[in-house]
Amino acid sequence: MTDERLYPVGSRVDDLDVSGVHLHGANFEGAKLTDTYLLGADISGDIEGLRVNGIEIEPLVQAELDRRFPVRIKLRATDIADLRDAWSMLEGLWAGTIDRASRLPESFPLQRVDREWSLVETLRHLIFATDCWLHRAIHLTTHPYHPWGLSWSGVGSDWAKEVGIDMSVTPDLAEVLPVRLQHQQAVRATLESLSDRELAEVRTAPGEPGHPNGEHSVLHCVHVLLNEEWEHHRYAVRDLDLLERRANSIRTDPVIGDTASP
């Protein structure tokens, strides 16, 4: 693996054909796409500042998402009472989703859909996110990382090992749920203890290796956590819908000899 870039900063690429290609973790920050065909393209990610044909896209997308999911507005709360309410909403969403997943065959929560994270991997990433933005950034814990946490894609094994993450482990849903619950309870306890005044405090992350680094307000850290929970829940439900259909087709397939009539 090399750090050398395929296309250096400032270069121009003409007639690049990526039709039908799945780009994951691609960095288009500051990129300029001209005379581009985006017919049928599906884009997800951070689109802050993205302009298409001269129109800034993010405000339009945010407004439509708020229309479809009015509870999203809670994620941007700025007082502690409303932030607690937002966390309760997220806890409820995840409880229902975990209940659905628990009814699937044991191997299904470990299955990936379209090569994205499995449900178990998603929960492990949220454990990592809580360690980052709650334990490290708010509580300033020096070594906060649970070994089952899963960092973002592209993080090297050396960094993961340095902060205490074991990339070789493969816990199943039953094993990872108690760890996940402990982290959820830690968020709940923190929100119950914080005041509106403390939300405005700026705290500096420890100097030891980890993420995030530098200074962040407590409110910013809470907002990141809420957003991580919301977005990954959205992905989890999207994939769970497919896994349930897959499980139902297996249960009723007469070739497999399950519940179907001859």
Quote the pLDDT of residue 155.
Answer: 83
Quote the pLDDT of residue 3.
Answer: 56
Q: In the structure encoding, which two tokens stand for residue 120, read together?
A: 């178990």
CA distance 9 to 31: 9
Three-state secondary structure call for residue 51: strand
Three-state secondary structure call for residue 56: strand
CA distance 238 to 122: 12
DSSP for 174-226, written as a single string: HHHHHHHHHHHHHHHHHHHH--HHHHT-EEE--SSS-SS-SEEEHHHHHHHHH
HEC secondary structure over 142-182: CCCCCCCCCCCCCCCHHHHHHHCCCCCCCCCHHHHHHHHHH
Q: For the chain, which residues make up each domain, given as ranges?
A: 77-252
Quote the pLDDT of residue 260.
Answer: 39
Quote the pLDDT of residue 253.
Answer: 60
For 20: left if phi > 0, alpha if psi spans -120 to 50, otherwise beta; the answer is: left
- pLDDT, one tens digit per residue, over 147-175 is 999 998 878 889 999 999 999 999 999 99
Quote the pLDDT of residue 2.
Answer: 46
- Sites in the chain below the pLDDT cut of 70: 1-4, 251-262
CATH 1.20.120.450 is held by the domain 77-252: yes
**Residue pair 218/80 in contact by the 8 Å Cβ criterion:** no
Quote the pLDDT of residue 48.
Answer: 86
CA distance 118 to 147: 18
